[in-house]
Amino acid sequence: MKKIISLLVFLLISSSFADGHVIKANKSMLYFAGLYPSYLLYLQGNIPDDTKHSWVDKDYWAVLEIDKSSKNHGGEAVILKLKKTSKASPQPEWCVTQGGDKWDGKGPACLKTNKPKSMNQLRFKVKVQYKDTKENLPKKYQNLNFVQYEVGYDENGVSLSKLPGRLPPPNHEFGPVKLTIFK
Q: Where are the alpha helices (DSSP H) in the chain?
A: 2-18
Say what the pTM is.
Answer: 0.83
Cα–Cα distance list, 21 to 18, 131, 167 (Å): 9, 21, 28
What is the Cα–Cα distance from 151 to 8, expressed in whole angstroms? 50
When mean pLDDT is compared across 29-43, 78-92, 131-145, 152-166, the lowest value belongs to 152-166
| Predicted local distance difference test score (pLDDT) of residue 105 | 57
C-beta separation of 44 from 51 below 8 A:
no
More confident residue, 170 or 72: 72
What are the boundaries of each domain within the chain? Answer: 19-182
State the average pLDDT for the chain. 84
Return phi, psi of residue 11, to 5°: -65, -40
Partners of 181 in beta bridges: 21, 62
Q: What share of the chain is helix, strand, coil (3-state, %, to 5)?
A: 15, 30, 55
| Predicted local distance difference test score (pLDDT) of residue 20 | 81
What is the Cα–Cα distance from 87 to 103, expressed in whole angstroms? 26
Interstrand relation of 61-66 and 177-182 (parallel, antiparallel or unpaired): antiparallel
Mean pLDDT calculated for residue range 88-109 = 79
Interval 107-161: pLDDT, tens:
678 888 899 999 999 999 999 999 999 999 999 999 999 999 888 888 888 777 8
Using the predicted structure, report yes or no on whether residue 3 has a pLDDT greater than 60.
Answer: no
Using the predicted structure, report yes or no on whether residue 70 has a pLDDT greater than 80.
Answer: yes
Q: pLDDT band for position 5 (50/70/90)?
A: very low
Helix (H) or strand (E) holding 81: strand 77-82
